[in-house]
Structure 1
Amino acid sequence: MSADRPPYDAALAASGLLDLLAPFDPHVAGTPPLGLDLPGSDIDLLCHAPDAEAFVALIWCALGDRQDFRMHQWVGGGRPVIASFTARGWPFEIFAAAEPVADQAGWRHFLVEQRLLALGGARLRATVMTLRRQGLKTEPAFARALGIEGDPYEALLVLQAGGEARLVEALRGAGFDTHRHAGG
């Protein structure tokens, strides 16, 4: 966390975004709620927006005047809409896809990272933070910490699908003690 901005949860609460986005089932994800944020990290909100046009209209009207506001739509992959802006000293990014949030890769990455941190404890957190400070994005940092080769984004989805036993196995295989009952 940067000294010149409030904690992410205070900035999020003050922004009113969760209320604004309530019709789109917003979920907070990314590095701030994991405690892995660096200066410049953004607050990520994942939304379920089966009607992209309705989502765009709401975002444009409600947030279009915000500092650094940008919005675009991917040309592939289900054509999600991404809006970004700065508020309360934090960059925000809203990712809205037609698929429910529970099925979105970003949410699944967040859940597996959260569980790995709960199981792997302080040493895993410190290792991931060291790798992030060296310039790695979050998923590649986890993959490197766990000694996983190949596409780190896909690897984390495979880990997540494998359940608790697979997470413990990956952590132990990388030399991390596990705290099996930590964080449920």
Structure 2
Amino acid sequence: MPASVQHFDTIDYLKTGSPIQQQAWQVLTEYRILEQLASFSPILTGTIPIDIAVPGSDLDMVCCYNNINVFMDTLVAVFSMQEQFLIKQTIVKGIETVICNFFIRDFEVEVFGQSRPVKDQEAYRHMIVEYLLLQKHGEAFRRQVIDLKLQGIKTEPAFAQLLNLPGDPYVAMLNLYDEMIRT
């Protein structure tokens, strides 16, 4: 893993980032979200960490649990009083998954948990490859991604479109991650 992505292991970088990153840092610290999820190795993923958020972008917390019931009980105990709290257990790509959504101030928060390491989960891998591509292609490319997102195109399809990646954009981005991390 490139050293340049290690800063995503904490949220310290948000404190001095863009205005939306600073707002995210305030919410995450004021409500102690990472502290309360600490036993599940939480990492903030998605568009806010890599500064391509658009209005309505949420805070995506990716977690790893050893015991699904303990994880779900923790989410209910800690966040059920938040607006529009919803928790569900489902299967994503053959893996038992918990998805919990709620609102805090101006942010929707999604907590996504699986029983595999956070850095092996697709959300983390997508964020890392997107970050590396943004670093490689510069500010004009970042603006193009944001412009596509403002038109309603999801993040991975926006990257795939700009890079002319064929097939399923989510799979194509994971394949690109594998290629970029190996080099």
User: Which TM-score tier does this pair reach, normalised by the shorter chain?
Assistant: 0.7 to 0.9
Instruction: Tell me how far apart the structure 2 counterparts of residues 49 and 80 of structure 1 sit (CA, whole Å).
Output: 10
Q: Is the 8 A contact 1:48 1:97 kept in 2?
A: yes
1:72 and 2:80 equivalent? Answer: no
1:122-165 deviations in Å (ceiling 9; x for gaps): 01101101110111110001100111121000001100100268
Aligned match of 1:43: 59
Aligned match of 2:34: 18
Aligned sequence identity (%): 34
Letter in 2 for 1:122: E
Match of 2:147 among 127, 130, 134: 130
Q: CA deviation at 1:9?
A: 1.6
C-alpha distance 165-55 of structure 1, shift in aligned 2 (>3 A):
closer
Bigger radius of gyration, 1 or 2?
1
Instruction: Tell me how far apart the structure 2 counterparts of residues 165 and 27 of structure 1 sit (CA, whole Å).
Output: 22
Aligned match of 1:55: 71
C-alpha distance 102-164 of structure 1, shift in aligned 2 (>3 A):
closer
Q: Is the 8 A contact 1:15 1:88 kept in 2?
A: no
Q: Which runs of 5+ in 1 are unaligned?
A: 167-184
Aligned match of 1:97: 114
1:38-93 deviations in Å (ceiling 9; x for gaps): 11110000000121100000111111111010001113521110001001321100
Instruction: Tell me how far apart the structure 2 counterparts of residues 135 and 23 of structure 1 sit (CA, whole Å).
Output: 35
1:18-38 deviations in Å (ceiling 9; x for gaps): 000000000011111111111
Instruction: Tell me how far apart the structure 2 counterparts of residues 165 and 131 of structure 1 sit (CA, whole Å).
Output: 29
Which secondary structure does the structure 1 equivalent of 2:96 belong to? coil
Q: CA deviation at 1:8?
A: 1.4
1:78-127 deviations in Å (ceiling 9; x for gaps): 11100010013211000000010011011100110111111111011011
1:149 and 2:166 equivalent? Answer: yes
Q: Which runs of 5+ in 2 are unaligned?
A: 1-18
Which secondary structure does the structure 2 equivalent of 1:7 belong to? helix
Aligned match of 1:81: 98
